[in-house]
Amino acid sequence: MADAAARSDFDALIGLGSNMGDKAANIRHAIGLLTDAGDIRLVRASRLYRTPPWGVLDQDWFVNACVAVATDLGPHELLARCLGVEDTMKRVRQERWGPRVIDVDVLIYRNVSLDDPELTLPHPRIVERAFVLLPLRDVAPDLMIAGHGLDRWIAALDTAGVEPIETAE
């Protein structure tokens, strides 16, 4: 699906979201936890976006962002780090697409296509989610997914309510 990156300055694209507590601070804290060990280097971070809930609609709005990172970790090791960040920040998984203090997803890893019980790359719903694609365009504007640029995928979605913010409310 991904024609991901003719870009050599990043190895992976990661999506982050929060709709509990200080949402913007949660995103920043998660990025810090991802990069603290030094084996994941932040290349670029998107703006923060205020977004409506997706999947389960009866919940608070989200703050979403994407980061481009450089790393020598493999895709499963990177996923393990993302899940470790969620655990450290005390994410509780009560319902699919429900409220969460933090969500950290590996969206794209190099040009790898992968589908196993632990990880699917590119992320299987990446082109269905404006809250992912708009921040993703901030960090990887030339990214191609399934032969199309991000603008084409974004144009096919309802982007109402997905707006950049300076700080969380």
Q: Is 158 annotated as catalytic? A: no
Q: How far is CA 104 from the centre of its chain?
A: 6
Q: Is 115 annotated as catalytic? A: no
Q: Are 65 and 14 in contact (CB under 8 A)?
A: no
Q: Is 91 annotated as catalytic? A: yes
Q: Which of 11, 28, 50, 103 is catalytic?
A: 103
Place of tokens 């507590």: 21
What token pair was written down for 1? 């699906």
Q: Which of 100, 129, 137, 138 is catalytic?
A: 100
Closest to 158 (Cα-Cα) out of 125, 126, 130: 130
Q: Which of 28, 50, 81, 105 is catalytic?
A: 105
Q: How far is CA 116 from the centre of its chain?
A: 19
- With 0-12 / 13-18 / 19 or more C-beta atoms within 10 angstroms meaning exposed / middle / buried, residue 7 is middle
Q: Which of 28, 50, 81, 91 is catalytic?
A: 91
Q: Are 101 and 10 in contact (CB under 8 A)?
A: no
Q: Is 50 annotated as catalytic? A: no
Catalytic residue ranges: 91, 100, 103, 105
